[in-house]
Amino acid sequence: MKPQLVERELTEEGPRLGSGARGKRRTVTVNLAESPLAWLHSRGHLDDRLFAAGEQLRSDYERARLGSNVTMRWDPVRVKGGPDVGLSATERQIAAKDRFDAALAQAGRGLSDVLWRVVCAGESLPHAEKALQWPARSGKLVLRLALDRVADFYRIR
The proportion of the chain whose per-residue pLDDT surpasses 70, expressed as a percent, equals 75
- Same domain as 42, residue 107: yes
Assess whether 91 and 143 both reside in one domain.
Answer: yes
Is the same domain home to 60 and 131? yes
Beta-bridge partners for 28: 8
Q: Are residues 5 and 66 in the same domain?
A: no
Question: How confident is the model over 120-137, as pLDDT tens digits?
Answer: 998 999 999 999 999 988
Evaluate whether 122 touches 104 at the Cβ level (below 8 Å): no
Q: 45-87 pLDDT, tens per residue?
A: 999 999 999 999 999 998 888 876 666 666 555 556 667 667 7
Average pLDDT, the chain: 82
Rg over CA atoms, the chain: 19
DSSP state of 10: S
The per-residue pLDDT for 126 is 93
Same domain, 66 and 104: yes
Phi and psi of 55, rounded to 5°? -65, -35
pLDDT value of residue 65: 82
Spatial separation of the C-alpha atoms in residues 3 and 143, rounded to whole Å: 25
pLDDT at 74: 61
Q: Summarize the confidence of residues 37-43 as an average pLDDT.
A: 90
* Nearest-angstrom CA–CA distance, 29 and 92: 39
Pairing of strands 27-31, 5-9: antiparallel
Rounded Cα gap, residues 34 and 43, in angstroms:
12
CA distance 140 to 134: 11
Query: pTM of the entire structure?
Result: 0.73
Residue 117 has pLDDT above 90, yes or no: yes
- Percentage of the chain beyond pLDDT 90 is 49
Number of separate domains in the chain: 2
Indicate if 92 and 141 belong to the same structural domain.
Answer: yes
Q: Which amino acid is at 11?
A: T
Instruction: Say what the pLDDT of residue 62 is.
Output: 87
Region 31-57 average pLDDT:
90
Could you tell me if 18 and 54 lie in one domain?
A: no
pLDDT score at 150 = 97
Q: 92, 65 in Cβ contact below 8 A?
A: no
Residues, the chain: 157
Domain that holds residue 135: 35-153
Which amino acid is it at 49? R
pLDDT digits (tens, 9 = 90+) for 92-105: 889 999 999 999 99
Same domain, 6 and 77: no
pLDDT of amino acid 146: 97
